[in-house]
Amino acid sequence: MVMMRKKINFSCYAALAVIAKLLLITNLLSAQSVIEPVIAGDFADPSIIRANNQYYAVGTSSEWAPHYPIYTSKDLLNWKQTGYVFEKAPAWTSGSFWAPEYDYHDKTYFIYYTARRKKNNVSCIGVATSKYPDRGFIDQGIIIDYGKEAIDAFVYLDGNTRYITFKAYGLDKRPIEILAFKLSKNGLKVEGEPFSLLKDDQKIGLEGQSILKKEGYYYLFYSAGNCCGAQCDYNVRVARSKSFAGPYELYAANPLLMENEYWKCSGHGTFVKAADGKDYYLYHAYNKKTNVFSGRQGMLAQMNWPAKNAWPVLKEQSGPSLNRDLKLNFTSPQIDKNWQWDFRNSTPGILQKNGQLHLSGIINKDNLSGIALTVRPISTTFEAITTVTNTNNALKGLVYYGDAGSAIGIGIAGNEIEFWKVENKTRTVLAKVKIPTTVPVEFKMKTADDLSLLVFFRKPNEEWQNVPVKEKITVNFLPQWDRSPRIGLHFNGSVSQDADFSTFELKY
């Protein structure tokens, strides 16, 4: 009987151990099923190239400067921002810096990009060149000026001939088309007349194209639907042809990438052949939880071909789950690559010296929000903290910034804490608190899942004090159509004044 009792107990423990192991495996598989971005935060319309045994990616910057952020990676999963294409906007441009596209030949890197032309606000395609993939780009001016709009360049080498493709007729009362020009040998001008590759006869949208050739077929991948904003329905589709010029047959089982449990509005990507010989697609999508507040983030999919002459399959890949909290110090004279600003509405002056960041600059006359020196968020929920170290009558502190007409912040001017917002181009002071004029003073902004915002201040090493308001404050008014709001440092004063900061931290 004793022997039997021991056997029964052992069997129970063994069964419990098996159950525990199965639960652990289930939990691990469940955790692994979450798809993480490879480039977190707003990084739309990415283009990718492999060079020098690593990968380079460049993406849309829209109305933020510097223009077109560049990232590098050795494995396609872990990326680091290293610079921008343009520190200063090319002379012919006014804004809307969209859809950059890499190309390389004759020991030269090319980036074909979309921007609005200053003289008439029409979107054209320009080109910049460099001997390096991540720095030193020099603008070469407009290469495609076509009708009311030319956007989304993609370059394809067919034999010895290069073609540049683009989206046309998006602002006309006619079907959108993907058109192509032959490129000159130096890549700096187009030749002949454009010809049509694919027409949007179904009127579902057609843009963000990328082309691969496989077993005698040209595969034209494109994005359909509404690209941007909370109501987007973007997805990735494909068509193929035996000739580069078409006609292209649409895949009956489109789309290849669409909404899933975690992500929506997948689209506008390009391919790279990896070191393992496989093709990967870098594209963008909105996180369904954080949506427009974290923008269109950089995603990765692997290209698979099920059988000969079969249509392709794109399998989503997950990036690593990383702690993406940000803590910046100002000990170096070099400005951190994370910082961007709204170049249309202010010209900031930034200086780092002796562990301080000094922020000042020129604020446009109709800009009610002031200068915002910001970083790209990856979530709707965060805590942002900074320390202001100087006293003057300019407003200095933290800001959550959509654009000059949509912003909210907390700061100090003189000896008064001010909680303010600009909404519908109207500035409102939400609360004021007088304090002793001694500095430094710390500020904190804290958001919640319901998009509510709380703001705090304190003297260093003291308890945080909440700035009381009469009603719940939300930030749902901040996002713009094509870009997420940004978080950062704030200055609103005359050019002879400045704001001095000793810390900036962003925690999720």
Q: What is the dihedral of CA 359, 497, 397, 406, to 10 degrees?
A: -90
| Cis before 460 (ω within 30) | no
Q: How far apart are CA 37 and CA 213, in angstroms?
A: 27
* Tokens found for residue 271: 């391919």
* Tokens found for residue 132: 């390096």
Give how far the C-alpha of residue 18 lies from the chain's centroid of Cα atoms, to the nearest Å: 45
Write the CB contacts of 81 (distance below 8 Å, at least 6 apart in sequence).
Answer: 69, 70, 71, 337, 338
Q: How far apart are CA 218 and CA 223, in angstroms?
A: 17
- Report the candidate in 147, 140, 183 with the shortest Cα–Cα distance to residue 164: 183
Residues linked to residue 236 through DSSP beta bridges, in sequence order:
223, 257
Q: How far apart are CA 421 and CA 228, in angstroms?
A: 25
Decide: 352 and 332 in contact? Cβ < 8 Å.
yes
Mode of pairing for the β-strands spanning 465-466 and 453-458: antiparallel
Decide: 166 and 125 in contact? Cβ < 8 Å.
yes
Other CB atoms within 10 A of residue 27 CB: 10
Query: Coil, helix or strand for 423?
Result: strand
Decide: 317 and 36 in contact? Cβ < 8 Å.
no
Q: How far apart are CA 153 and CA 224, in angstroms?
A: 16
Decide: 203 and 215 in contact? Cβ < 8 Å.
no
Active-site positions read 45, 207
Give how far the C-alpha of residue 447 lies from the chain's centroid of Cα atoms, to the nearest Å: 21
Identify residue 117 by its one-letter amino acid code: R
Query: Coil, helix or strand for 92?
Result: coil
Identify residue 440 by its one-letter amino acid code: P
Identify residue 231 by its one-letter amino acid code: Q
